[in-house]
Amino acid sequence: MLIVDVSVIIVNYKTVNLILDCIRSIYEQTEGVSYEVIVVDNNSEDGFQERIQDCFPKVVCLPLSENIGFGRANNEGLKIARGRNIFFLNPDTLLLNNSVKYLSDYLDAHPNVGVCGGNLYDVEMRPMHSYRMYLPGILWELNDLLGGNLVDKLLWGKNRQFNHTGKSRSVGYITGADMMVRREVLDKVGCFSPRFFMYYEETELTYRIKKAGYKVVSVPQAKIQHLEGKSFKPGINVSRIRYSIEGRNTYYSLHYPYSYRVVIELIVRVSVMCRILIFSLLREQDKRKYYQTVSRLLPEKQVI
């Protein structure tokens, strides 16, 4: 099999318009590195393959018969990927420079690094969440309880989720929007766990990679625009809430003992109640929808 430097894997679910722009940015910005683009479709039924290959005939399209979720779809793409390095890229992203080469070169030059990713910018080109300095755990949940920024600000300041230093730095995890992983690392630890449908799957994979002794690094030279939320409808999305909570529960159940999970659940419950109070200021139907969704997923006396 012919080997390329990088396999770019993008998962589509009714986001073909976004993916066309994403692929265009890859072709326009990438040079000095061999690569392939693989689009895995979660049964969108939106004519994705014809539209993509009309514009980009070299793109490999892999249609699936059902929507199997983000991580599992990426696993299907990995089965046919020929790259030494695998770049898991969200459909709602645009490469702003030669990010593929920057990230691939960094992995090639640092064999102790298993995962790397670039700096992400929002639709207005403002710095946005690109990584976290630690993996989910008690500190993570306490930070979430205190508003999502207080602990991180105290410990890491302005570099807590975006790399302003201009230099590569070790981090806890890279967001799944632009996650490049060494292929040999995936062969060693496995790819995304099939236990997840969406959310926390990249975090759980990172946990295994770090446990195997590899570093996770932010490479700020790679710049990528993330049009976050463009693939979802606005407002409260019950499915997103459900998948997020289920993903978090699964993550903790896979890697932490019962006693640790009891503490985690206590913090999560307090955090949920605080959010319910906040939602009381919003429309009644939004508050009720959020409360009903969370109540079903965190029933009385359940331990994650």
**Encoded tokens for 296:** 């079903």
Burial class from Cβ neighbours inside 10 Å (0-12, 13-18, 19+) for residue 297 reads middle
**Encoded tokens for 222:** 């790679």
Q: How confident is the model at residue 272, as a pLDDT?
A: 76
Q: How confident is the model at residue 278, as a pLDDT?
A: 66
Domain assignment present for 303? no
Domain assignment present for 302? no
Domain final residue, candidates 226, 253, 278: 226
CA distances from 146 to 117, 142, 152, 153, 268 (A): 27, 6, 10, 11, 11
**186/76 same-domain check:** yes
Q: What does the alpha-carbon distance between residue 132 and residue 118 come to, in Å, rounded to a whole number?
A: 13
Q: How confident is the model at residue 297, as a pLDDT?
A: 56
Query: Would the pTM count as exceeding 0.85?
Result: yes
**57/112 same-domain check:** yes
- Alpha helices (H) in 212-301, listed in sequence order: 238-255, 258-279, 284-297
Q: How confident is the model at residue 304, as a pLDDT?
A: 44
> How far from the centroid of its chain's Cα atoms is residue 132's Cα?
12
Q: What does the alpha-carbon distance between residue 79 and residue 58 come to, in Å, rounded to a whole number?
A: 18
Q: How confident is the model at residue 228, as a pLDDT?
A: 76
Domain assignment present for 212? yes
Q: What does the alpha-carbon distance between residue 248 and residue 225 come to, in Å, rounded to a whole number?
A: 26
Domain assignment present for 76? yes
Amino acid at 272: V
**249/180 same-domain check:** no
**217/248 same-domain check:** no
Q: What does the alpha-carbon distance between residue 56 and residue 46 come to, in Å, rounded to a whole number?
A: 17
DSSP secondary structure letter of residue 298: S
**198/62 same-domain check:** yes
Domain with 74, as residue range(s), is: 4-226
**250/289 same-domain check:** yes
Q: Tens digit of pLDDT per residue, the chain (304 long)?
A: 669 999 999 999 988 889 999 999 999 999 999 999 999 999 987 788 889 999 999 999 999 999 999 999 999 999 999 999 999 999 999 999 999 999 999 999 999 999 999 999 999 999 999 999 999 999 888 888 887 778 888 889 999 999 999 999 999 999 999 999 999 999 999 999 999 988 899 999 999 999 999 999 999 999 999 997 555 555 556 777 788 888 989 999 999 999 999 999 888 888 877 776 766 665 555 656 655 665 655 544 444 4
Domain final residue, candidates 182, 205, 226: 226
**178/73 same-domain check:** yes
Domain assignment present for 233? no
Query: Residue 84: which CATH number?
Result: 3.90.550.10
**169/140 same-domain check:** yes
**24/132 same-domain check:** yes
Domain assignment present for 124? yes
Burial class from Cβ neighbours inside 10 Å (0-12, 13-18, 19+) for residue 30 reads buried
**63/207 same-domain check:** yes
Domain assignment present for 97? yes
**Encoded tokens for 184:** 């040999």
How many structural domains comprise the chain?
A: 2
Q: What does the alpha-carbon distance between residue 135 and residue 244 come to, in Å, rounded to a whole number?
A: 15
Q: What does the alpha-carbon distance between residue 294 and residue 237 come to, in Å, rounded to a whole number?
A: 12
**63/153 same-domain check:** yes
